Amino acid sequence: MKNVAANIEQVSRFYGSGKSRLTALDNITFKINAGAQLALIGPSGSGKTTLLSLLGALERPDSGKITLFGANIDKMSERESADFRRHNVGFIFQDDALMPELTVAENVALPLILVKSAATEIKSRVATILADLDLQKFSQAFPPSLSGGEKQRVAVARAVIHQPKLLLADEPTANLDSRAAALVLNAIDKLANAYSLTMIMATHDPRVYKRLSKKLELRDGKLV
Amino acid sequence: MIFWLRFALRSCLRRRRRTIITLAGIAFGVATLVVLGAIMVGVNDTMINNAVAIHTGNVVITGGPLPMPQALLRVDELLLDLEATPQLQAVMPRLHFPALVTSAQNNSPIHVVAVDPRREALQTPVVKRIIAGTYLNNNEGLLLGEVAAKRLAVKPGDRVLMVTPSQRYDLKISGIFSLGIDTFDRSMAFISLETAHTMSDLEVNHEIALFCRAESDLGKVAKTVALKTRPSEEVRLWHEILPEVAQLVKLNEFSMAIMVLLVIIILSFGVANALLISVMDRYRYFAILKAIGVRPREIFIIIMAEAFFMCLVAAIIGTILGSSITLIWADFGLDLSRYTSANPHFSVNSIVYPRLTPLMALAPQILALGSGILAAIWPALVAGRRPINQVMRGL
């Protein structure tokens, strides 16, 4: 059990009620070991985003139990969930999801600010990660001035700078051309390996999931 | 906390159009209230000054009746005691007695006031309202109201008989005044104190009218005066003598308070609406922040800080704008004669000079700031409490 990052037991999630009730996840059970890099594949509507939301403590299952790094996240209050996310989870969304009023450096620094890191440490870690991803020249730029690929690489930096235990990525290359997508995937690989992160990436792009060691396929809310 | 405040400030600066429109609405409301407040203060000033100048003084000492020589001595004593009071702008001795003024054609009951023409000329409006003849320039004669002069069919230079309970005096009409207030123009007449000296048989009531440099000195002056007066004398403030004017002032203030309340309520709805739209526009944005680990309380702080910054800046801009308009306007005044010609409280001067008071300059901005912050609570709660799962699908 020691090296189990996530334990998902008989988890179901429904949306709506009565006749319009939709089963997003149907009695899912699986485990992920710490340091694993898992591709969550399946067509649109198969439940990938719902599963990522549950694993990121963004929502709670209607039934079943989710344990992340020993913590039962489905019993957490909203504040406890927020605190759990700020320390343990990094998110990469379909598009960049950067804060337009913050510079690139400030966007990247945000998770470290939330965990109250020292200013000098924040400065040095931001500089290092931006240099690693060849983004240092954009340090003081605002997100709207960057290209889609550059923004997404900044989002990758922001997702991992606080060295979360779990990195969740929801189709991070969906809106990018193949060259930009390759750069983003390289960045994710580089940082996930450097920080030994457990990673779950939802995708239906074969070029993406071929890069990952394990695959889990969802269809109509069930594991295939 | 400082980070979230800076974050909120950046957010305001980043969403310039929204911020400018919200700022402009609040600033315009605050400026309007400052200007309206200054006009209200100006209207009250004009009413009080008019009433006080014609009728009384800010503080009035009355006593008597005393025989004329004693009354003259008493007013001299009081003048000596009070003239050096620093809060006083003018001190005016007056003696009052009733008389029947008779001309060849008619007679008229008149309230006669003996005054010091030199002192009165500096303060009272009668000097500026002479329509025929002259004021009591040589301390001679009788200054009569226009309506009384018509009734008696007299003009300057004519002679009339002033009949008192004890004596008859033959006096020349020195001039005729018209204050535009029927009671005054019909039943008031003025003679000089020098003329009054010759009327030693009369019993008169004495009065000292005191004009303060500032309305706020009223209490201090009343206390000083109380120490100098005799038990038989009465000290009254203008609002005790003219309760109808005091009531009008209160009514104005009450109306203004209602106006302020209405504008502030409208402003609050404006702020709440602007922030709610802004929050609804940014559900995705707040969902991202929450996903990163920002707590609902911190989202609440961001929205509240945005409201605080916008309302603070708008309140300052509004106050500067309103104060500037008021100061410029205060130079040339607002002529209300078209609307006040039949109003006795504006008969002497119907030009209102808007005046800024600390309360009327600061209250709108404090209220706008307070109400803006209160109005932000609901949108801030909406942003903080919105479940993330409802918005994650759009990410």
Looking at the structure, do residues B250 and B220 belong to the same domain, yes or no? no
**Which domain-ending residue is among B190, B221, B240?**
B240
Instruction: Residue count of chain B, please give it.
Output: 395
Q: CB A82 to CB B293 under 8 A?
A: yes
Cβ neighbours of residue A136 under 8 Å, at least 6 residues apart? A127, A130
Measured between beta carbons, which residues in chain B are less than 8 angstroms from residue A158? 292
Task: Return the minimum-mean-pLDDT range out of A72-76, A130-134, B40-44, B247-251.
Answer: A72-76
Most confident range (mean pLDDT) of A175-184, A214-223, B122-131 is: A214-223
Phi, psi of B94 (to 5 degrees): -145, 140
> What is the per-residue pLDDT for A139?
93
Band of residue A126 on the pLDDT scale cut at 50, 70, 90: very high
Looking at the structure, do residues B204 and B308 belong to the same domain, yes or no? no
> What is the per-residue pLDDT for A130?
92
Band of residue B282 on the pLDDT scale cut at 50, 70, 90: confident
**Which domain-ending residue is among B197, B214, B240?**
B240
Task: Return the minimum-mean-pLDDT range out of A204-208, B135-139, B315-319.
Answer: B135-139
> What is the per-residue pLDDT for A127?
93
Looking at the structure, do residues B192 and B341 belong to the same domain, yes or no? no
Most confident range (mean pLDDT) of A101-110, B54-63, B112-121, B375-384 is: A101-110
> What tens digit of pLDDT does each residue of B101-156 get?
998 888 889 999 999 888 888 777 788 888 988 888 666 789 999 999 999 889 88
Letter for the amino acid at B325? I
Q: Is the pLDDT of residue B165 over 50?
A: yes
Q: Is the pLDDT of residue A105 over 50?
A: yes
Q: Which of B191, B128, B132 is nearest to B157 (CA)?
A: B132
Query: In a mutagenesis test of the B interface, which of A93, A152, A168 is the best target, namely the one with the most B β-carbons within 10 Å?
Result: A93
Strand, coil or helix: what is B106? coil
Q: CB B289 to CB A101 under 8 A?
A: no
| B352 burial type by CB count under 10 A (0-12 exposed, 13-18 middle, 19+ buried) | buried
Looking at the structure, do residues B194 and B46 belong to the same domain, yes or no? no
Q: Is the pLDDT of residue A181 over 90?
A: no
Q: Which residue of B has its CA nearest to A103?
A: B10
> What is the per-residue pLDDT for A175?
77
- Average pLDDT score over chain B: 85
Residues belonging to chain B with any Cβ–Cβ distance to chain A shorter than 8 Å: 3, 7, 10-11, 13-14, 284-285, 288-297, 387-389, 392-393, 395
- How does DSSP classify residue A23? E
Q: What average pLDDT does this structure show over B332-343? A: 76
Q: CB A85 to CB B393 under 8 A?
A: no
Q: Is the pLDDT of residue B395 over 60?
A: no
- Write down the residue that tokens 């800024």 correspond to: B356
Cα B148 from Cα B386, distance rounded (Å):
80
Q: Is the pLDDT of residue B167 over 50?
A: yes
Phi, psi of B15 (to 5 degrees): -95, 70
Band of residue A1 on the pLDDT scale cut at 50, 70, 90: very low
> What is the per-residue pLDDT for B344?
67
- How does DSSP classify residue B125? G
Looking at the structure, do residues B375 and B275 belong to the same domain, yes or no? yes
Q: What average pLDDT does this structure show over B385-395? A: 63
Phi, psi of A133 (to 5 degrees): -100, 15
Q: Cα dihedral angle (B220, B222, B223, B229), rounded to 10 degrees? A: 150
* CB-closest option in A85, A101, A110 to B14: A101
Looking at the structure, do residues B299 and B174 belong to the same domain, yes or no? no
Residue B18 structural domain: 2-51+246-392
> What is the per-residue pLDDT for B109?
92
Cα B3 from Cα B10, distance rounded (Å):
10
Q: What average pLDDT does this structure show over A105-126? A: 92
Q: CB B293 to CB A170 under 8 A?
A: no
Q: Which residue of A has its CA nearest to B289?
A: A99
Share of chain B above pLDDT 90, in %: 14
Instruction: Residue count of chain A, please give it.
Output: 224
Looking at the structure, do residues B140 and B258 belong to the same domain, yes or no? no
Q: Which residue of B has its CA nearest to A55?
A: B291
Give kind and range of the element (H or E) at residue A5.
strand A4-15
Q: Which residues lie across from B316 on neighbouring strands?
A: none
Query: In a mutagenesis test of the B interface, which of A25, A52, A58, A163 is the best target, namely the one with the most B β-carbons within 10 Å?
Result: A58
Q: Which residues lie across from B170 on neighbouring strands?
A: B161
By the CB < 8 Å criterion, does A174 face chain B? no
Cα A167 from Cα A169, distance rounded (Å):
7
Q: What average pLDDT does this structure show over B181-190? A: 87
> What is the per-residue pLDDT for A141?
94
> What is the per-residue pLDDT for B105?
86
* CB-closest option in B296, B387, B395 to A97: B395
Interface size, chain A vs chain B, as Cβ–Cβ contacts under 8 Å: 69
Strand, coil or helix: what is A25? strand
- Given a contact cutoff of 8 angstroms between Cβ atoms, the answer to whether A92 and A49 are in contact is no
Q: Which two tokens stand for residue B106?
A: 């008619």
> What is the per-residue pLDDT for B117?
86
Q: Cα dihedral angle (B127, B133, B139, B141), rounded to 10 degrees? A: -120
Q: What average pLDDT does this structure show over A88-108? A: 88
Q: Which CATH architecture has domain A4-223?
A: 3-Layer(aba) Sandwich (3.40)
Looking at the structure, do residues B196 and B317 belong to the same domain, yes or no? no
Looking at the structure, do residues B190 and B321 belong to the same domain, yes or no? no
> What is the per-residue pLDDT for A96?
67
> What is the per-residue pLDDT for A17?
82
Q: Which two tokens stand for residue B334?
A: 């607002």
The CA–CA distances, whole Å, from A102 to A30, A142, B6, B19 equal 38, 6, 10, 17
> What tens digit of pLDDT does each residue of A42-88 get?
888 888 888 988 888 888 899 999 999 888 888 888 888 889 999 99
Query: In a mutagenesis test of the A interface, which of B13, B292, B306 is the best target, namely the one with the most A β-carbons within 10 Å?
Result: B292
Q: What average pLDDT does this structure show over B368-390? A: 82
DSSP characters over A114-142: HTT--HHHHHHHHHHHHHHTT-GGGTTS-
Domain count, chain B: 2
Looking at the structure, do residues B91 and B235 belong to the same domain, yes or no? yes
Looking at the structure, do residues B236 and B251 belong to the same domain, yes or no? no
Q: CB B292 to CB A85 under 8 A?
A: yes
Q: Which two tokens stand for residue A61?
A: 């299952």
Q: What ipTM was predicted for this assembly?
A: 0.87
Q: What average pLDDT does this structure show over B357-371? A: 86
Q: Is the pLDDT of residue B391 over 60?
A: no
Looking at the structure, do residues B195 and B145 belong to the same domain, yes or no? yes
pTM above 0.90, yes or no: no
- Write down the residue that tokens 């209102």 correspond to: B352
> What tens digit of pLDDT does each residue of B78-97 get?
888 888 888 888 888 999 99
- Given a contact cutoff of 8 angstroms between Cβ atoms, the answer to whether A37 and A199 are in contact is yes
Neighbour order of strands in the sheet with A4-15: A22-33, A4-15, A63-68, A71-72
Q: CB B392 to CB A58 under 8 A?
A: yes
Measured between beta carbons, which residues in chain A are less than 8 angstroms from residue B5? none
Task: Return the minimum-mean-pLDDT range out of A207-211, B209-213, B310-314.
Answer: A207-211
**Which domain-ending residue is among B206, B224, B240?**
B240
CA of A86 vs chain B CAs: smallest distance (Å): 4
Q: Which of B186, B224, B190 is nearest to B84 (CA)?
A: B224
By the CB < 8 Å criterion, does A93 face chain B? yes
Q: Which of residues 178-217 of A touch B (CB under 8 A)?
A: none
Band of residue B389 on the pLDDT scale cut at 50, 70, 90: low
Cα B18 from Cα B239, distance rounded (Å):
49
3-state DSSP helix/strand/coil % of chain A, to nearest 5: 40, 25, 35
Band of residue A106 on the pLDDT scale cut at 50, 70, 90: very high
Q: Cα dihedral angle (B305, B307, B313, B314), rounded to 10 degrees? A: 180
CA of A100 vs chain B CAs: smallest distance (Å): 8
Q: CB A82 to CB B395 under 8 A?
A: no
Letter for the amino acid at B270? G
